[in-house]
Amino acid sequence: MSEAERKRRFERLVSSLSSDLYRFALWLCGQEALAKDLVQETYLRAWRSLDSLQSDAAAKSWLITILRREYARTFERKSFPMVDMETAVIPDEDDLSPEQRAERALLRDGVSRLPPRYREPLLLQVVMGYSCQEIADQLGSSKSAVMTQLFRAREQLKEKLQGDGVTGNVHELF
């Protein structure tokens, strides 16, 4: 296939599926900017491996699969801010407001009530800062299983906290 034919094929696929890909990306991540980035990364990866697409009829599922994998990669690349331990200020329990103490107690209680198979990976990630692969190595599990356990742990924790009357943004608590 010539380069011109390859470009035409790609442009035809992209133009016919771009709105579907963007809509799916937005549904996945819930953020416009990230959804646009995901679609662009999907296009880049699709262009590089366009020759592996056997049939144009399978293009939609092929592109959706690439997009889902790109979305999963965003969590692998996510880096958390690092703080020098010598200069870090750790608030004393006495410095917290009564509301902050109550939220912290509810959060700890919610985490302690999670089944161990969900609690352990969550704590390894949030408290220890381990990546999904490091958690998988620690627990003797696969990375995809750890990602599923982390998702379910967060969902169960959100349900528990909302059931306990935490009305604020539950995402900000962990």
Ranges in the chain, pLDDT < 70: 77-83, 85, 88-94, 164-174
Q: State the CATH class of domain 3-77.
A: mainly alpha
pLDDT score recorded for residue 151: 93
HSE value, Cβ hemisphere, 13 Å, CA-based, for 62: 18
CATH 1.10.1740.10 region(s) of the chain?
A: 3-77
pLDDT score recorded for residue 112: 82
Instruction: Tell me the residue type at 107.
Output: L
**pLDDT tens by residue, 60-74:** 888 888 988 888 888
pLDDT score recorded for residue 153: 92
147, 139 in Cβ contact below 8 A? no
CATH 1.10.10.10 region(s) of the chain?
A: 93-173
pLDDT score recorded for residue 165: 64
Give the three-class secondary structure for 159.
helix
pLDDT score recorded for residue 173: 47
Q: At what angle do helices 132-139 and 143-163 cross, to 10 degrees?
A: 100
The pTM assigned to this predicted structure is 0.46
How many other C-beta atoms lie within 10 A of the C-beta of residue 59? Answer: 20
pLDDT score recorded for residue 146: 93
Fold topology of 93-173: Arc Repressor Mutant, subunit A (1.10.10)
